[in-house]
Structure 1
Amino acid sequence: MAAHFFTLSIITLSLFVVASSGELESELVADLLTLQAESKSGVIHLDDRTVSKFLTSPRTPRPYSFLIFFDAANFHDKPELRLRELRREFEIVVSSFITNHNSSNTKLFFGDIEFRESQSSFQLFGVNSLPHVRLVGPSAKSLKDDSDVMDQGDFSRLAESMAEFVESRTKLTVGPIHRPPALSKMQLGLITALLLLCLPLVAKRIFPGETLLHDPKIWLSGAVFVYSFSVSGAMHNIIRKMPMFLVDRNDPNKLVFFYQGSGMQLGAEGFAVGFLYTVVGLLLAFVTHVLVYVKDATAKRLAMLFTLLVSFWAVKKVILLDNWKTGYGIHGFWPSSWN
């Protein structure tokens, strides 16, 4: 009889603990949903108290994951960190996730922690450099060792990279990224009205052929710009949202303009290679369209020698950079009859 009573007591106590734990988890999720709804961007602002309430105090596994953006307002004026831009991209990911899931998802929440307000939380996570994004999974006991850190090289594609990071670490799908339009309806209306007002003045100059578009120098400059824009990979940088440079992980005061590795190309190295290609192209255009009209043979020879030397130097620099970046070498081969 006593054994049955003891067993019944254990079962009752276990059910009470499970029920209490379930109620506590439901309360935490409800509180998070309330904070998310109160936030204009959907980002829940965390501090030392709420980090303890939602992450360190609850038993694992927690019923939710947390993607956290670590911020420092006093570093917003440092352009190399790009904290303002990355914070906006983080908010775009949050709003896109909430919109795609109709505000009904309770498995993933988004938060931010500010350094001056929550230095203890920064130490708890082991954050010593910015930018920093970290995903705390349901089973993470140690916020420093058991959470996933987004690699700084992945920030190059901004919101898309953050969404891929979430999807690769969880079983959740962020969905399409919804970016706000570049111009509001009022701005579009003002621009349209301005164009309509200027249309008669523009037409008055177009028909007599007195516009800049009738100037051959403008077309020449445009052709050079298009060529340079194309060979520098600028379109790739715009589509992939590649940064011009990165901050060195080992030395935050040092900037990285050339990234070694074939998986990513920074904007600075693309423009450097594009400049070298443009130099060679302009020299070739000079030889074929200008130098042919020079009558002095000595001047022609000197100009050709200069063109060859500069072109050889530029192409060699491109080859060396490609070899350093990808590890692939470019070798010349003589005709077999020359051996």
Structure 2
Amino acid sequence: MRAVLGLALLLAIGAAAAAGDEVDRLLALQKRHGGVIELDTKTAQQLLGGKSRPYSVIIVADAKDLRSQGKLKLGQLMADFKLVAKSFAAEHAGKPAAGSVLFARMEFSKAKDLFGRMGIQALPYLARVPPSLAIDEGGALTLNKEDVMPTSSYPWSAETIATWVLERTGVAVGEIKRPTLVSTRLMPILSLAVLGALGFVGFHLYHASFMRHTFLYAVGAIFIYWFSVSGGMFNIIRGVPLVGYDQRKRQSMLFMQGQGQLGAEGFIMGSLYTTVGMAVAALIMVAPKVKDPNTQRVVAYGIILVAFMAFRMVTSNHLWKTGMSTDWYLF
């Protein structure tokens, strides 16, 4: 009986040692790839295969062909995911918890079969493979709903991912340390240098002769007006594309029917608004300076015609987009 118990104990110790060696090997692999294991068919089997494993695996799905789609923000997701992995490694370095959670990335062109096995049909996708999930080689990899991060809160920041990892694994990621361009030691020196440079430049600009010309301020005011009525800040904040693409006609488009508006359309409408304003200014400031009455009359009517055409283009676009015509009131 003692011999049987001793043999069982030796087998258990050997299995634990083998599992520990495998975890160390995977941690070394993860470190070589910058904190995130790159999955292919072979690596996925080594990492996930078997009836169970002594660690959880956090997997993020990626597709290089979709990186250009701004709404998905896959590039930012990969950067934040890698930041979480590095923060976890730094927090638990040399501790038993270091091998309790592993981080992996699967790219579609290299792991198509894994996408199919996990039933991934859309991105973004972030999931946890629990230690107790039995995974056969080439078999389906079905996860519970709770182990797949909901997309309702997307885009996910590094802090959001870290909180979710803690909820699903019970292991804290630790403080998210975002890389800075300048070290904290150099920050005071750099701040003083920037302030000094700004003061130097500002002093010389204030005393520069060209800063006394009102034409410069007039052009600046017109540009600010044009940029504001064009919705420039809205386009920047919301990431509105400059042009769209019609999948049916396979061609780019500047105008979009309906309530939506592309960036180029906003700038075109803003240019028309600015044209009307400039025409009014020219009618007040330029036309009266023409000495010949006949020429003055032609110039004034020409300015009015330009303003009318610009205004007409705006109302025509409004009718095309909304179906509501503009009522004309003449007094």
The match for 1:276 among 229, 243, 268 is 268
Contact kept, 8 Å, 1:134 with 1:149, in 2: the verdict is yes
Count, aligned residues:
294
1:193-232 alignment, distance < 5 Å: 203=203, 206-207=206-207, 209-211=208-210, 213-232=211-230
User: What's the counterpart of residue 309 of structure 1?
Assistant: 309
- 1:87 aligns with 75
**Quick one: which of 34, 39, 60 aligns to 1:46?**
39
Shift in alpha-carbon separation, 1:120–1:332, aligned structure 2, 3 A:
same
> 270, 278, 282: which one pairs with 1:286?
278
Instruction: In structure 1, give the amino acid aligned to 2:278.
Output: F
Q: CA deviation at 1:51?
A: 1.0
Q: CA RMSD in A?
A: 5.9
Aligned-pair identity (%): 19
Alignment partner of 1:58: what SS? coil
SS of the equivalent of 2:125 reads strand
- Among candidates 45, 50, 53, match of residue 58 of structure 1: 50
Is the 2:319–2:325 contact (alpha carbons within 8 Å) kept by the matching residues of 1? no
Q: What is the identity, as a one-letter code, of the residue corresponding to 2:56?
A: Y
Partner of 2:125: 134
Which residue in 2 is equivalent to 1:8?
Answer: none
Residues 76-133 of structure 1: CA deviation (Å, up to 9, x unaligned): xx98457xx843551234314653896458786532335665565466567799xx54
Matching residue's letter, 1:224: I
Partner of 2:3: none
Check the 8 A contact 1:25/1:63 in 2, yes or no.
Answer: no
Partners in 2 of 1:225 and 1:110 — Cα distance? 49
Give the partner amino acid of 1:92.
Answer: D
Question: Is the contact between residue 48 and residue 121 of structure 1 (CA under 8 Å) also seen in structure 2?
Answer: yes
| Alignment deviations for residues 141-174 of structure 1 (CA, whole Å, 9 cap, x no partner) | 73489896998x998x6x64x8768978994699
Q: Aligned in 2, Cα 1:168/1:245: closer, same or farther, shift over 3 Å? A: farther
Task: Summarize the Cα distance change of 1:279–1:128 in structure 2 as closer, same or farther, 3 Å threshold.
Answer: same
Which ranges in structure 2 are unaligned for 5 or more consecutive residues? 1-7, 289-295
In structure 2, what is the Cα distance between the partners aligned to 1:258 and 1:22? 65
Q: Helix, strand or coil for the counterpart of 1:291?
A: helix
For residues 260 and 145 of structure 1, the distance between their equivalents in structure 2, rounded to whole angstroms, comes to 42
CA distance in 1, matches of 2:204, 2:101: 60
- 8 Å CA contact retained: 1:163, 1:174: no
Bigger CA radius of gyration: 2
Change in CA separation of 1:237 and 1:33 when aligned onto 2, cut-off 3 Å: farther
Structure 1, unpaired ranges of 5+: 1-12, 324-328
Counterpart contact for 1:67–1:133, Cα < 8 Å: no
Q: SS of the counterpart of 2:209? A: coil
Tell me the equivalent position of 2:4: none
Alignment of 1:84-163 (within 5 A): 86-87=74-75, 89-96=77-84, 99=87, 103-104=91-92, 109-114=102-107, 118=111, 120-121=113-114, 124=117, 132-138=123-129, 142-143=140-141, 160=157
Give the partner amino acid of 2:216: I
Alignment check: 8 A CA contact 2:30 2:36 kept: yes
Give the counterpart letter for 1:309 in structure 2.
M
Q: Against the structure 1 CA distance between its residues 277 and 300, is the aligned structure 2 distance closer, same or farther, given a 3 Å change threshold?
A: same
Does the aligned pair in 2 maintain the 1:66–1:111 contact within 8 Å? yes
State TM-score, norm by structure 1: 0.55
Counterpart amino acid of residue 68 in structure 1? V
Q: Distance in 1 between matches of 2:324 and 2:206?
A: 51
Secondary structure, aligned partner of 1:54:
helix
Contact 1:276 1:314 in 2 (8 A): no
Return closer, same or farther for 1:310/1:261 CA change in 2, 3 Å cut-off: closer
For the structure 1 residues 190 and 88, does the alpha-carbon distance in structure 2 shift closer, same or farther, using more than 3 Å as the test? same
1:306 and 1:81, CA in 2 relative to 1: closer, same or farther beyond 3 A?
Answer: same
Amino acid at match of 1:312: R
What's the TM-score, normalizing by structure 2? 0.56
Task: Provide the C-alpha distance between the structure 2 equivalents of 1:118 and 1:108, rounded to a whole number of angstroms.
Answer: 21
Per-residue CA deviation, residues 25-77 of structure 1 (Å, 9 max, x unaligned), is 8877666555444543x22222221211223x2347996353324355xx6xx
- SS across alignment from 1:290: helix
